Amino acid sequence: MGRGKIEIKKIENPTNRQVTYSKRRAGIMKKASELTVLCDAQLSLVMFSSTGKFSEYCSPTTDTKSIYDRYQQVSGINLWSSQYEKMQNTLNHLKEINQTLRREIRQRMGEDLDGLEIKELRGLEQNMDESLKLVRNRKYHVISTQTDTYKKKLKNSQETHRNLLRELEAEHAVYYVDDDPNSYDGALALGNGPSYLYSFRSQPSQPNLQGMGYGPHDLRLA
């Protein structure tokens, strides 16, 4: 039995519609390729599905742009005129914006003010005052931040300096308690407690202090 005639109308079911499109797209692509080989024809085929998926075929002996150029020459239709007009309008608009911005920059620098009326001058003055206020606030913020940072660095440097001085004094000074009870210092130290009286004595490693005539009562650290 032969196949029944299929009514050509939109397939309402999205899944069935997509399946049918995929099958028939493959078929028309195959027909276009066969037509190119059998008849030495130049073809350009462009398709968009209902979901916006793009597919194309072009004969191997040419390209899509060449096909469009030949179409314009034969039909006399300019395919790019509307797009060129849009691009030209966009370019002109951007040029106007650029000129306006350049004029505003010159006016903020005190130039090109001759054509401004009193209202425009007042507006320009107000804008510059607001800009100046923002710049000053930012400057004060940066100064305050840098000042706090330098204060912290100075405090750390001073603390480090004090620690180094304490270490240096600990290395060059020798402290010990004279616990000889027969000496005056020893007796005084034992009477007052060893933590309140210390005496300096030169050590053999410090020859410069030998023979300088310092007695036990000359140097004390209470």
Question: pLDDT per residue over 4-51, tens digit each?
Answer: 677 788 888 989 989 999 999 999 999 999 999 999 999 999 999 988
CATH class of the domain whose range is 12-76: alpha beta
**Sequence spans of domains, the chain:** 12-76, 78-114, 117-172
pLDDT at residue 184, as a whole number: 52
**Predicted pLDDT of residue 3:** 63
pTM above 0.85? Answer: no
> What is the rounded distance in angstroms from the CA atom of residue 88 to the CA atom of residue 25?
37
Task: Give the closest residue to 68 by CA, choosing from 40, 44, 37.
Answer: 44
Q: Are 59 and 39 in contact (CB under 8 A)?
A: no
CB-based contacts of 173, cutoff 8 Å, min separation 6:
none
pLDDT digits (tens, 9 = 90+) for 181-192: 555 555 544 455
- What's the pLDDT at 158? 92
- Which residue's structure tokens are 């066969």? 34
Looking at residue 137, its pLDDT comes to: 93
Spatial separation of the C-alpha atoms in residues 122 and 101, rounded to whole Å = 18
- pLDDT tens track for 146-168: 999 999 999 999 999 999 988 88
CA dist., res. 47 & res. 59, Å (int): 15
Query: What is the pLDDT, as a whole number, of residue 93?
Result: 94
Mapped onto helix, strand or coil, the DSSP state of residue 32 is helix
Q: What is the pLDDT of residues 78-134, one digit of tens each?
A: 878 888 888 999 999 999 999 999 988 888 888 888 888 888 888 888 888 998 899
